[in-house]
Amino acid sequence: MRRHIVCSLALALAAFATAAQEKGAYSIDNAKSKLQIDVYKDGAFKMFGHDHLIVAKEISGQVQFDPQNMEASAVHLKVPAKSLTAVDPGESEKDRRDVQATMTGEKVLDVAKFPEIVFMSTHVSAVKKTADGWELTLAGKLNLHGVEKPVSFPLRVRAAAGELRAQGEVSVLQTDHGITPIKVGGGSVKVKDKLKITFTIVATKAN
What is the value of pTM for the model shown? Answer: 0.85
Question: Is the pLDDT reported for residue 193 higher than 80?
Answer: yes
- Tell me the C-alpha distance between 150 and 89, whole Å: 32
Over 60: is that where the pLDDT of 151 sits?
yes
pLDDT at 161: 87
How far is C-alpha 205 from the chain's CA centre?
19
| Per-residue pLDDT at 186 | 43
Q: Give the Cα separation of 114 and 104 in Å (integer).
A: 10
Please give the mean pLDDT across all residues of the chain: 87
Reference 20, options 207, 200, 205; nearest CA is 205
pLDDT at 19: 41
Contact 75, 63 (CB under 8 A): yes
Whole-number Å distance between alpha carbons of 141 and 93: 35
pLDDT per residue as tens digits for the range 87-134: 998 889 998 999 999 999 999 999 999 999 999 999 999 999 999 999
Burial of 7: CB neighbours in 10 Å, binned 0-12, 13-18, 19+: exposed
Residue 53 has pLDDT above 90, yes or no: yes
Q: What pLDDT is stored for residue 89 in this prediction?
A: 87
pLDDT above 90: percentage of residues in the chain = 74
According to the model, what pLDDT value does residue 120 have? 98
Cα–Cα distance between 137 and 110 in angstroms, integer?
31
84, 63 Cβ separation under 8 angstroms: no
In the chain, which ranges are continuous DSSP H helix?
2-20, 93-104
pLDDT of residue 41: 85
Q: What is the pLDDT of residues 140-150, one digit of tens each?
A: 999 999 999 99
Q: Is the pLDDT of residue 6 over 90?
A: no
Sign of CA dihedral 122, 55, 60, 175: negative
**Cα 155 to Cα 149: distance, rounded to the nearest angstrom:** 19
What is the share, in percent, of the chain residues with pLDDT greater than 70? 84
Whether the pLDDT of residue 139 is over 50: the answer is yes
